[in-house]
A = this chain, B = another copy of it.
């Protein structure tokens, strides 16, 4: 047989461009769910929200103002949510699982957005009334005013701690 078989020249496939290099991807940024930074943020949120709840509930006449009652409710919801997610983070860290599922991220983002908005609204409303009573009307027992201010400050700190969680979850949901 004269005709030789064609030689085989394997052609290498070009590497598949699975990633668009312009896009920013965040894999394991501290502060996201399932990281130690995320757990620290959740614990901060829980501690500040619980402190706001306890300090406000310990005043005699918090129930006389709607905004103060609302602060107690919002801080309660915030502390429950943050405690639940802190426990989930501890579990994820223990079993070394990543909490980056799209549905889970979507749920966390919506929950964080709602609790963040409620806590911030409660903190702002309480701050408005505390400033009105303490500065504008000068009609506030000193011991009470300090407690109102402390509870409001704690609610603001809780909001400061939940904002990074919300934005990191939103960002990783967008870049998913």
Give chain A's interface residues, CB within 8 Å of chain B: 2-7, 9, 11, 13-14, 16-20, 22-24, 64-67, 117, 120-122, 124-129, 131-132, 135-136, 167, 170-171, 174-176
Contacts and interface: CB of A to CB of B under 8 A. Distances in A.
B132 A66 contact: yes
A59 to B, nearest CB: 15
Contacts of A5: 6
B176 A22 contact: yes
Name the residue in A67, A124, A167 with the highest tally of chain B Cβ atoms < 10 Å from its Cβ. A124
As for how many copies of this chain the complex holds, the number is 2
A66 B6 CA distance: 88
A154 to B, nearest CB: 17
A133 B119 CA distance: 22
Closest 8 CB pairs of A and B: A125-B128, A6-B6, A174-B174, A124-B124, A67-B128, A128-B128, A121-B124, A66-B131
Contacts of A19: 20
B18 A20 contact: yes
A134 to B, nearest CB: 10
A66 B120 CA distance: 18
A123 B20 CA distance: 42
B176 A24 contact: yes
A66 B124 CA distance: 12
B120 A65 contact: no
A176 B25 CA distance: 10
